[in-house]
Structure 1
Amino acid sequence: MTDYAEEQRNELEAIESIYPDSFTVLSENPTSFTITVMSDAGENGETVETLLKFTYVEKYPDEPPLWEIQSQENLEDRDVQEILTLLQQQAEENLGMVMIFTLVTAVQEKLNEIVDAIKTRQEEDKRLKEKEAEEAETKAFQGTVVTIENFLAWKTTFEQEMSEIRKKRQKEEEQVGKYKLTGKQLFETDHNLDTSDIQFLEDTGNSVEVDESLFQDMEDLDLDEDDPDFDPLAMGSDED
């Protein structure tokens, strides 16, 4: 006859020696305890962790223990469900043998796989971002590929813009033409401008008188203007 209590006590002692820092006894009747299971650190130090609670049933190990996940860190709901499924599978495969160490080891391997998957997703995200950045840079360098469709669309927009510019310029020129007259148009519209200068002289009494005596003796002067040494001021001083 199997002594279930003895097998349970022996396994409990072994588990405590294997996991001294993560093993905690919660109760003795029924025997219940927790084990913290943590993955190995990933490349960037990331880890995942879960706190497993086990409870012996009366006929353990011929019957599987009870288990539950009391807490977890960095695990998604999908990961938690996969761990529970894994525990059920391992327990069925190891009926008749003490199995806590086997169950914990399977969970730890699963956590390591999850960390590896996180690393793979991070690398994929990084490559995707790098690819998107390269494509954006290439597109900016090459410009937009011209097709018939986008050329016709650009041509229509360009012609509309040019038409608006011409209309605006024509309107501005018409507005300026209303208020600006040429010199000819000024004389044609105001005939007083024809005699304005004469009237100014007559109104002010200004006249120009010339003293002809100042020029009477100019013909008697022997002026050699071609002489490079010719100095009219010097001549005047010699006569004095």
Structure 2
Amino acid sequence: MTDYAEEQRNELEAIESIYPDSFTVLSEVPTSFTITVTSDAGENDETVEVTLQFTYVEKYPDEVPVWEIYSQENLEDSDAEGILTLLRQQAEENLGMVMIFTLVTAVQDKLNELVDEIKNRREEDKRRKEEAAEEAEKVLFQGTVVTIENFLSWKAKFELEMAELRRKRQKEEEQQQAGKIKLTGKKLFETDHNLDTSDIQFLEDSGNSVEVDESLFQDLEELDLDEDDPDFDPLALGILDLVDLVGRVDPIDKVEVPVRNQDIVQNLGISGIQRI
């Protein structure tokens, strides 16, 4: 009759001596322990690590132990599933014999393979990203190839946008005619370009265009005017010229003066000088 307890104690002592730094007992009844397995260093000294938990069943090794992944580092979920599958296969092949060392060794080899696979995956990801960037750059310079399908699709969208724009403009015109909305200054100039010159035309139509008799100011060129003098006031000078002009003009004569001096002339009560 097999003494399962004795076989389990003997294996446990052997495992502890083989993995002194990574072996930890979790419980004695039932016997449960963990072993941390680390891969060899890969590129950039990266490693993959997994901690396996084993629990003896009563009839181990004639029955497989219970195992699970206690923790993991740098291990993808798909790789973790692969390790569990590997443990199941190895346990079935070694049924009837103590197998913990065999299982751990198989996982160790698998982790070393994964380090190389991780390196290859990263290189493949880098290559795909570079190819995607190159394709995007080609599309940027080449543009979109026009086909009947994408042209008709663009045309349909364009016609819808134009129809919506026409609808909005028509609605604005109807509201404007009905007096429901008041156009902004920008809208007024956008819809009526005659407003660009309307102010000038208004001044001309209202008669505010003033004619000046230049002969009345011919003697001004002979005046000694010092513009640098702080007391120099051209407006005051214009008033004095107008006042002096009163003594030399007949009341019935019409004298044309600059618009800027007309109000001043009226305030001075000078007669005989009027705007034409």
TM range (shorter): 0.5 to 0.7
- 13 and 177 in structure 1: CA distance in 2 versus 1, 3 angstrom threshold: same
Show the counterpart of 1:65: 65
* Residue 179 (structure 1) aligned to one of 180, 186, 199: 199
Indicate the structure whose relative CO is greater, using CA pairs within 8 Å and at least 6 residues apart.
1
TM superposition shift of 1:199: 7.4
Report 1:76-155 matches (<5 A).
76-140=76-140, 142-144=141-143, 147=146, 149=151
Residue 63 of structure 1 deviates from its aligned partner by 1.9
Deviations 1:110-141 (A, max 9, x none): 3334433433332222122222322333444x
Q: Give the 3-state SS of the residue equivalent to 2:60 in structure 1.
A: coil
- TM-score of the superposition, structure 2-length normalised? 0.53
Work out the CA distance in 2 between the residues paired with 1:197 and 1:57: 125
AA aligned opposite 1:18: I
Alpha-carbon spacing, 1:192–1:59, altered in 2? closer, same or farther (3 Å) = closer
Whichever of the two has the greater Rg, that structure is 1
In structure 1, distance between residues paired with 2:210 and 2:59: 133
Name the amino acid aligned to 1:86. L
Q: Distance in 2 between matches of 1:146 and 1:5?
A: 76
Correspondence for 1:31:
31
**Aligned residue identity for 1:66:** V
Cα offset for 1:88? Answer: 1.8
* Structure 2 unaligned blocks of 5 or more: 166-188, 219-241, 250-276
3-state SS of paired residue (1:24): strand
Unaligned runs of 5+ in 1: 161-167, 207-240
| One-letter amino acid of the structure 1 residue matched with residue 143 of structure 2 | T
Q: What is the aligned-residue identity percentage?
A: 63
Give CA-to-partner distance per residue, 1:81-114, whole Å, 9 cap, x none: 3322322221111012221111111222333344
Which residue identity does 1:63 align to in structure 2? E
Residue aligning to 2:40: 40
SS in 1 for 2:54: strand
Shift of the 192–56 alpha-carbon distance from structure 1 to 2, 3 Å rule, reads closer
Aligned-partner SS, 1:132: helix
Give how far 1:54 is off: 1.8
For the aligned residue pairs, the C-alpha RMSD in angstroms reads: 4.3
| Letter paired with 1:73 | E
Query: What corresponds to 1:7 in structure 2?
Result: 7
Q: CA deviation at 1:143?
A: 4.8
The correspondence of residues 198-209 of structure 1 with structure 2, limited to 5 A, is 204=245, 205=248
Q: CA deviation at 1:171?
A: 4.2
Q: Give the partner amino acid of 2:24.
A: T
- 1:59 & 1:169 partners in 2: Cα distance? 95
> Normalized against structure 1, the TM-score is what?
0.59
Displacement of 1:196: 3.6
Distance 1:63 1:180, change over 3 A: same
Q: Which moved more, 1:91-100 or 1:48-57?
A: 48-57
1:200 CA drift (Å): 7.3
How far did residue 66 of structure 1 move?
2.3
Q: How many residues in Structure 1 have an aligned counterpart in Structure 2?
A: 193
Specify the alignment match of 1:19 in structure 2.
19
Aligned-pair distance for 1:62? 1.9
- Cα pair distance change 1:191/1:38, threshold 3 Å: closer
- Residues 1:192 and 1:27: Cα distance change in structure 2 (over 3 Å): closer
Shift in alpha-carbon separation, 1:178–1:53, aligned structure 2, 3 A: closer
